[in-house]
A and B are shown apart, each in its own frame.
Chain A
Amino acid sequence: MNKHVKTITPETSDLSRRSFLVGTAATGLVLGYAGVPGIGEALAAAPANFEPSVWYAISPDGLVTVTCGKADMGQHIASTMAQIVCEELGAKWSDMRVNLASNDPKFNDPVLGAQITGGSWSTMMNFDAMSRAGAAGRMALTEGAATAMGVPASELVVRDSVVSHAKSKKQMSFADVVKSGKATKTFTPDELKAIKLKTPDQYTMIGVSVPQLDIPSKTNGTAKYGIDVMIPGMVYGAVVTPPVRYGTTVKSVDESDAKKVPGFIKAVTLDDKTQTTTGWVVAVANTYANAKKAAAALKVSYDGGPNAKLSSESLLDEAKRLQGLDDSGQFFVKDGDVGAALGTAAKVLEAEYTTSINIHAPMEPMNATAEFKGDILHIYSGNQFATRSGAIAAGAAGIDPKFVVMHQMWLGGGFGRRLDADMMVPAVQAAKAVGKPVKVIYTRENDMTMDFSRPLTYQKVKAGIDGDGKLIALSHDVVSAWPTQRWGIPDFLSPSVDKKGPLDAFTVNGSDFFYTVPNHNVRAIKNEMAHNATPSGQLRSVAPGWTFWAVESMIDEIAAAAGKDPAQYRISLLDGAGKNDGGAQRLRNTLLAAMGLAGYGTKKLPKGEGMGVACVSSQERATASWTACVAHVAVAPSGEVTVKKLTVATDVGTQVHPDNIRAQVEGAALWGLSLALYEKATLKDGGIEQTNFDGYTPLRMSQMPEVAVAVIANGEKATGVGEPAVTVVAPAIGNAIFNASGARVRALPITAEAVKGAMKA
């Protein structure tokens, strides 16, 4: 388990306005402009507001503005935080507003101790803190109203932003109480912890699909994304990125033609000590159109560096070589004695699974605006990891991170891409060079070829079954670039079981599944060549996007070898023994729900059609949402696959917003389909070959199958929903293809050629 998610019991929220670094993830990265004289006052809210917590303020007009410390990239997390506060506060939903937090550490995640958004962690890790903050506000308002009305606080009821006293028929709105100035009660962390929260039967907001607060602004063009930031005196930067993804250096820049472009200001060759970028040049001009023209006119010559000859094939060959070495990598799981068990097995199966390089490609291309104002560097950008990105911006500027203020914007898609801070480097260095605020916008071509991509992966799985077909041993090697090690934050790495130093669990999570397998090894092997040539990132659920592709395909292969139904075989493996107790049963139930909804095993299908199942957990074992999928496909003799329907069931414990969960699960499932069939990037001569949406082709409307979603809310704690449905779809489709045609495919994305080839085999 990763260190940063160990403390799953949320700690207290911070009412004292001091920041508690509850987690340890931010160690060494503690940022805080709060320490800079003058700046705190400049950014503080109007003093007349009532601020019972750092997380929200109630203004004298009664509006409750929740400050969301999580990046909102379409998962409506800002609205969700407001909903959780609103439940305990007793406010009227129409009084709720949201605000996006700056990088002040007081807005750090109460569990993670940093500002980072990912992993489907946000609801799970903030539910308690937001609930307590809301309840504290309600108690303070109640006490204030009691004083103002001269009645006992214990006789007051709070509902719809009104505090009322039934006996005397007196009442005060939140606005009245705030204006009275009588709401003054404060809470120590211990008092906060002692607050008795509502029980689920008392909820009036949690579980209700209230209108998302951000949606109206996203239908009329008023929502402000990073790309929409306008600063007085601002100029624009277009980046010239090298043909090789990483490791190049600029030898020379010829500006003579660029100087002829009207509005051209300067070409800035980046000197990136953070090593986030290599060989980039920014063309700065008065408009973006002119900056692009100037960028195109620059003649840049490069030293291609050590990766200039590498291709997808070389990365895969290297992965296979590394996997073949006995001493490669470190163990993530080492249960029992796999070698001995394989020796006694009645049958041993071996299979190799691969996934291609994949690109995030959010619709809003990467961008950032940088402005130096006095000692302070202001960054405007939609970002998922303000804590680290602020430090990268500071590194690019050559200043202390405490002088960086990150202004959060709505994110035009994140999916993990905006955990990175590369876009800040050209903005900062260009702003410094020209002495003006600069907005840098990537072209789609920059965005695709310089993505921190989902890495190419190679996995080898070996399984042993006994005479009864029981799975007794599984050995699983995972070879990939290490996306999270790249961050350079030790607390995001995990110790290896064989004590060979920390490993990047974001490459193997998911392989520590909930099946009972007495002898089980997982080896995490870093593909150093891929790591250097294709600096990788976290793409929506990260490792489970490939580990479950291997595991869930292999389970079907094993079931077939054992002559068992693959769904029933899974159920027998989900027996809840030992460490799997609890999780395994929930996953089994979810699988059964999906099977029931899809008509698995009951629906008669025509020839050439089949259903396949898969079941998964989330980004980490410790943060699981239990998710299962039944894919129904038709396979043509040509190998062409048509996905007719995806049925997804997910156990989320408690639903905060049922409609949003369905939206997230459906979007995630379609991402899974897109990655399974339509998205593939390739490396050639060190560069990503696909440059726009003609070469890299995410799912379009015409390719969308029917999607059925069943949400299981059984009263357990709320878990995350943005990711698990991504990872369950590809293996379900692969397994359905096998059941429809007998073709076993082991490479993502699945192609008609591969299916046809496997049919013949």
Chain B
Amino acid sequence: MPTLTINGRSMSVDAANDTPLLWAIREQLQMTGTKFGCGAGLCGACTVHVNGEAVRSCQTMVGDVAGKKITTIEGLSAKGDHPLQKAWIAEQVPQCGYCQSGQIMQAASLLAKNANPTKEEVVAHMDGNLCRCMTYSRIQKAIMRAATEMRTASAAGNERRPT
């Protein structure tokens, strides 16, 4: 029985090694924030982080992620208050909301590496994530808003830190 490290907790799942991580997360662990959209890595609805990288959990097998650090939307922040989640609410991004866990996880992997992305970098990073409600412009705005907040917070943190 493979053991997965998800959102900081070690959990064993009753699934064969060739089971897509998506279904292990959703069914075995009953964390349903990660969504099934296409099963082919074409839409991004199932995006989670593996060792900080955004991956499509429908294309990632349980056997390949044992011992790696997996983060889902439920574990992105303790109280749903990651700068991106706050920005998603501030910009009132979601319509049906189904793709938004994946959008947020995809965006989080960008901002973790680049807290000051250009619009072009945002588009290039997000283009694999479909939104059938077409909330794309609000997604862009929310990412920019979150990036600004993260830079401000980090600058404030730097100031406070003794050198």
Contacts and interface: CB of A to CB of B under 8 A. Distances in A.
Contacts of A693: 38, 40, 42-43, 130
A701 B96 contact: no
Contacts of A414: 96
Nearest to B85: A219
Nearest to A75: B95
Interface string B136-151: 1111100000000000
Given A670-B136, A701-B123, A410 B38 contact: no
Interface in A364-419: 364-365, 410-415
B123 A692 contact: no
A289 B18 CA distance: 9
A699 B134 contact: yes
Interface bin, chain A: 35 or more
Interface in B104-163: 104, 123-124, 126-127, 129-140
A211 interface: yes
Given A663-B92, A701-B123, A364 B35 contact: yes
A365 B132 CA distance: 12
- Residue among B92, B130, B134 with most chain A CB within 10 A: B134
A410 B92 contact: no
Contacts of A287: 15, 19, 23, 27-28
Contact of B89 (A211, A224, A288, A667): A211
Given A230-B32, A413-B96, 10 more contacts: A219-B80, A221-B34, A287-B27, A289-B16, A362-B98, A411-B96, A663-B95, A670-B136, A701-B136, A702-B124
Interface in B60-99: 72-74, 80, 85, 88-89, 92-99
B52 interface: no
A365 B130 CA distance: 13
Interface bin, chain B: 35 or more
A225 interface: yes
A415 B98 CA distance: 14
Contacts of B73: 220-221
A74 interface: yes
A363 B40 contact: no
Interface of B: 15-16, 19-20, 23, 26-28, 30-40, 42-43, 45, 72-74, 80, 85, 88-89, 92-101, 104, 123-124, 126-127, 129-140
Interface string A215-250: 111111111110110100000100000000000000
Interface of A: 73-76, 209, 211-212, 214-225, 227-228, 230, 236, 262, 287-289, 361-365, 410-415, 441, 443-445, 659-660, 663-664, 666-667, 670-671, 674, 692-694, 698-702, 704, 707
Contacts of B139: 701
B81 to A, nearest CB: 9
A362 to B, nearest CB: 6
Contacts of A670: 134, 136
B85 A363 contact: no
Contact of B137 (A221, A363, A704): A704
Contacts of B72: 221
Nearest to B33: A221
Contacts of A363: 35, 37, 43, 45, 96, 98-99, 130-132
Given A76-B95, A444-B39, A692-B40, A219 B127 contact: no
Nearest to A364: B98
9 closest cross-chain pairs (CB), A and B: A221-B33, A218-B97, A412-B98, A74-B96, A74-B95, A220-B80, A670-B134, A228-B32, A218-B94
Contacts of A75: 95
B124 to A, nearest CB: 8
B40 A222 contact: no
A224 B26 CA distance: 12
B137 A219 contact: no
Contacts of A702: 123-124, 127
A699 B131 CA distance: 8
Contacts of B123: 701-702
B23 A288 contact: yes
Contacts of B97: 74, 214-215, 217-219, 223, 410, 412
Nearest to A660: B92
B130 A698 contact: yes
Nearest to B104: A219
Nearest to A669: B134
28 contacts: A212-B92, A215-B92, A215-B93, A217-B97, A218-B100, A219-B80, A219-B85, A220-B73, A221-B72, A222-B33, A224-B32, A287-B23, A287-B28, A288-B23, A363-B45, A363-B132, A364-B98, A410-B97, A413-B132, A444-B38, A444-B39, A444-B40, A444-B43, A663-B135, A667-B133, A699-B134, A704-B134, A707-B137
- Residue among A221, A224, A443 with most chain B CB within 10 A: A221
B86 to A, nearest CB: 8
A219 B42 contact: no
